[in-house]
Structure 1
Amino acid sequence: MKVYIVLSMDTNDVISVDKVFRDKEIAEKYADIQNSRNRALDYFIRERALMENIDEPVSV
């Protein structure tokens, strides 16, 4: 499963996690809205695999 992490970077190049989404289009829309509202921060998206081999059964 992939997740899309919206990160923000300020003028001092400090990067922070803003939100995490499962849907790429929603993450892109959120980042665009935040970029238009807040000029002091730069919002961007990173894609990350949350789990690999999800089809394998897990025993507890």
Structure 2
Amino acid sequence: MSVLKVIEVLANSDKSWEDAAKNAVAHASKSVKNIRSVYINEQSATVKDGKMDNYRVNVKITFEVN
């Protein structure tokens, strides 16, 4: 039986929500090992001069605990 833990991470990108999610996983993987999945909980963006300029995600990252 595996034991899994979930952490919540906020990340952003000036390119896309997908890139923001990738940033969240990349940053979390620096200190968390055995990441198994990511769940996009929320998406939002800021707007500047009528255009979206910063994409934000709230993700839940699941990893296996040894």
**TM-score bracket for this pair, using the shorter chain length:** 0.3 to 0.5
CA radius of gyration, larger in: 1
Structure having the higher strand fraction is: 2
Structure having the higher helix fraction is: 1
User: What is the TM-score normalised by the length of structure 2?
Assistant: 0.32
